[in-house]
Each structure stands twice: as C-alpha cells, then as structure tokens.
Structure 1
Amino acid sequence: MLSLYHEARSPVHAMPAGAKLLVLLGTGTGLFFVRSIGALGVAMGVVVLGYALARVPARVGLRHLLPILPVLAVIVVAQVLLTDWVTAALVGQRIVVLVALANLVTLTTRTSAMVATVEAVLRPLRPLGVRPERVGLVVAMTVRFIPVLKEQADQVRAAQRARGVRRSTRFLTPLLIKTLRLADGLGDALEARGAGSD
C-alpha cells in the first residue's frame, strides 16, 4: 500500500492532524455559503500559499489535482446548460478549492496521525457501540488505497494502449476485476489476523 504523504519540514506539517481536519471540515462547510467568484479566488490563493508553506512542489500538487479535471469539466458544462455561467464558475471553484485543500492535508499528514485523531474523536462513543479502531482502519485503508487503485487503472490503460486500444471504456471491466481481487485478498488477510472477531 502506498502513502500520499510528502516528507518535508514545514509549519503545515507540524500542525496537529486534528487541527488540519477541522480546517478542512470548516472550509468545506463554509465554501457552500460563499457566492462570490472573487472570494473563492482568494480562498484558492490561500490554499496555494499553504502549498508553498508546506514546501510541496508545484508538480506534486498538480499531479494530484489533474485526475479530477475531466469530471470537473463535465460538472461545469452541465451547470452552464442547466443554470448560468456564474453558478457554473462558483461550483467549479468550490470543487477545486476543496480537492486542493484535501490533497494538502493528505500530503502533509501521516496516515497514522490521521487514524489516531479519528479514533480519539470517536472514543467517547464506544458505549454506544461505535468501534473506533474499526473506523480508524477504514480511514487508513481509504487513504492508502486511493493511489493503489489509480496505479492499477494506469496499468490497465497502458496494457490496452500496447494492444492498440485508445480511449475506450472497456478498461473498466479489467479494472473492476483487479479491484475485486485486491479487495478479496485484503479481506482474507484481515480475517487471518482476526480483524473480524470481537
């Protein structure tokens, strides 16, 4: 399993994981109340400044942002057709700011610190039947397997390009098979280690 963490010494890396997650949560909530293109542009500028303070190279930040651009383009075009260009611009800006900020949190926070924060927050709910350790495990697997799935998708596309297949949706079937095999192997490994037992 791969990690998205980018090693560096910076004020952003030094921030507690809980504080960064709170900033992400607060920003994600607050952006939906912002209805100014200029204000959202300022928010994007603040996120870019965060990348600079975190000493994350521009190529690294862009590499994690590029995969959402096709989906973003579809959403913006749909908004233009259904509403107007101002609403489409606001929606596009919100998505870019949120994804960029989420990537910054992931790049500057170790998975172990993120999991420990989630478990600490959920620990008071243990009497209600919540299992903090299991939730933490889900968070860890979600964060770590995103780059793994992207790598598998790249491998499938590369294999199809080598066979002369260009830009076809047929890559979804082999990708789904590889993902199911990965999930099956992970399930067996967790069961062998007693993750499903009380």
Structure 2
Amino acid sequence: MSALAVYVPRDSLVHRLPAGTKLVCLVVAAAVTFALSRPWQVALALGVVALLYGVARVPWRTALDQVRPLGWFLGALAAFQVVVAGWERAVVVVGGMLGLVLLAALVSLTTRTTAIVDVVVRSLRPLRRVGVDPERVGLLVALGIRSVAVIIELAREVRQAQLARGAGSSPLAFIVPLVLRTLRHADRLADALVARGVDD
C-alpha cells in the first residue's frame, strides 16, 4: 500500500496537538500562502514545513512520497508559469502549492483519521438544523482520505503494467486504465455502502 497520507505513529509535539488545532492551522496556512509574492518568502515557508516534519519525526522518504505523485503536474505547472509570468512567479505558485500539499499530508501523517472525522462531525452539528447530516459528511471525509491512497496505489499498478507492455510513453495507455479501475473501485465501494444500509 502507498505510504501517502498514512498515519505514522510517533510521540512528538505535532502528534500530540489536537486534530482541530491542526486543521485550523492548515486553513490559516492556506490563507497565508495566497499572500506570498516573493521566492524568498516561499523558501522560508518551505523551511518551516521541513522543520515541522523534523519535529514530527516523519521520515524524509515518507515526506517525499507525499509529493512524488504530483511531480508531473507540478513540473508542467512550473513550465507554464515560467512562459506566462516568469520564473519568480513559477517559484511562488509551485512552491506555495508544494508547501500546502506537504502540510495537508503532515496533518494526515500525524493525526488518526477517526480524530479528523470527529472534529468535522462536531463542527457541523450546529448545521443539522438546516438539513446537514454531520455523520454523513464525516463518512465522506473518511472515505475521501482513504480513497486518495487507494487511487495512488491504482496509478502505480497501472504504470507498472504500462511499462511491462512497452507503452511507457503513452499518456492514453495510462489514463484510460486508471479511470476504469477508479470507476470500478467506486462501484465496489458504493455496493459495500448500500449493503451496510447507507443509501445512495
């Protein structure tokens, strides 16, 4: 199974922080990212992220696993930004996105999924009066967190099969099987939920 966003048990300050506090900090960090405008600011932000990973004692290999699946996308985005807006803007945009992905992953790596879901459910309970079902939203959050790792694993399987068939340079040979496998996984998941009494 992919190491993407899988809880890593440690006895660290970051692990001991309440899940709600981490989620609030993540929202604040996202807002701060939009205010970044200089490469040195992005470098400083990434330095803080690296420091947090060190405090959390998360292995660097695990940290790299969080962004490796986005390598192609970030590379294409950087190239586009360089052509359209220059290298400095490319550093700001790609660096900011990289930092946010790493921070979001750090929350998942240092917080059990049940704790995250509990925070979401508690936060949404006041909205029950307007028709929001907090438990259902919590279930969606849990499934979303789990599905990210599953889809990454499916992508790796498809990539390995693609290379074995000698179609390593064909984007179509990668995208089509991945979409089909993802849809099949979604169908199986939906059948399992219905079987357990969760309507569609």
What TM-score bracket applies, with the shorter chain setting the length? Answer: over 0.9
Q: Residues of 2 paired with 1:182 and 1:90: CA distance?
A: 36
Q: Residues of 2 paired with 1:195 and 1:90: CA distance?
A: 43
Q: Does 1:173 align with 2:180?
A: no
Aligned with 1:185 (options 178, 188, 198): 188
Q: Residues of 2 paired with 1:177 and 1:76: CA distance?
A: 29
Q: Residues of 1 paired with 2:110 and 2:52: CA distance?
A: 10
Q: Residues of 1 paired with 2:185 and 2:116: CA distance?
A: 24
Amino acid at match of 2:111: T
Question: CA separation of 1:123/1:82 partners in 2, compared to 1, >3 Å: closer, same or farther?
Answer: same
Q: Which residue of 2 aligns with 1:103?
A: 105
Q: Does 1:34 align with 2:43?
A: no
CA-CA distance at 1:116 after TM superposition = 0.5
Deviation per CA, 1:69-128: give whole Å up to 9, x if none.
211111111111111222111111111111111111111111110000000110000000
Q: Residues of 2 paired with 1:11 and 1:17: CA distance?
A: 12
Q: Which residue of 1 aligns with 2:118?
A: 116
Structure 1 gaps of 5+ residues are none
Amino acid at match of 2:86: D
Amino acid at match of 2:196: R
CA-CA distance at 1:196 after TM superposition = 1.4
Conservation of the 8 A alpha-carbon contact between 2:74 and 2:94: yes
Q: Does 1:143 align with 2:139?
A: no
Conservation of the 8 A alpha-carbon contact between 2:42 and 2:91: no
Could you list the runs of 4 or more consecutive aligned residues of structure 1 that deviate by over 2 angstroms after TM superposition? none
Q: Does 1:55 align with 2:57?
A: yes
Q: Residues of 2 paired with 1:171 and 1:48: CA distance?
A: 32
Deviation per CA, 1:16-65: give whole Å up to 9, x if none.
11100000000001111121222221111111111011010111101112
Deviates more, 1:33-42 or 1:134-143: 33-42
Q: Residues of 2 paired with 1:122 and 1:26: CA distance?
A: 19
Structure 2 gaps of 5+ residues are none
TM-score (norm 1): 0.94
Conservation of the 8 A alpha-carbon contact between 2:7 and 2:109: yes
Q: Residues of 2 paired with 1:12 and 1:94: CA distance?
A: 21
Question: CA separation of 1:31/1:143 partners in 2, compared to 1, >3 Å: closer, same or farther?
Answer: same
Aligned with 2:20 (options 18, 21, 44): 18
Q: Does 1:8 align with 2:10?
A: yes
SS in 1 for 2:44: helix
TM-score (norm 2): 0.93
Q: Residues of 2 paired with 1:43 and 1:133: CA distance?
A: 35
RMSD: 1.5
Give percent identity, aligned residues only: 44
